[in-house]
Amino acid sequence: MAKWTPEHEAPEPLEGPVVATVTGGTILWFVLFLAQLPFYGWFDDHGYLWWLWTCLAGAGLGLYGIWFVRKREAAIKRDAENAENPEKTEKAEQTENAEKTSGDLSEPVTD
């Protein structure tokens, strides 16, 4: 059997307003949950109660998604800034290392 090889390269991933999209989706799931809540009894009687819990799960996972994409955006922005100013990154690392090794210098030394 021959190994499959792609005929062309994969396209670049689309970048857009990811945080806004995930936030909008999360709000939509939560609104759907609230809209179905008054009909809890009907859903329970007809075996569709899972619709209600699906909306709540979508809202909960959306909250995790918002946290995740915000961290991702911050990391992308930080990496882009570091790529533009590598000297700034080196100075920040040196300062951080110096602070770790110097200890607390605010207290006077008594012998």
Give the C-alpha separation, 69 to 23, whole Å. Answer: 10
- Contact 17/73 with Cβ under 8 angstroms? no
Kindly state the tokens that stand for 83: 């790529």
* Predicted local confidence at residue 92, as pLDDT: 64
- Contact 44/4 with Cβ under 8 angstroms? no
- Contact 40/14 with Cβ under 8 angstroms? no
**Start-end of H helices in the chain:** 18-36, 40-46, 49-84, 86-102
The answer to pTM > 0.75 is no
| Cβ-proximal residues to 73 (8 Å cutoff; 6+ apart), any chain | 18, 19
**Per-residue pLDDT tens digits for 73-95:** 999 999 988 888 877 656 666 66
Checking if the pLDDT of 23 tops 90, the result is yes
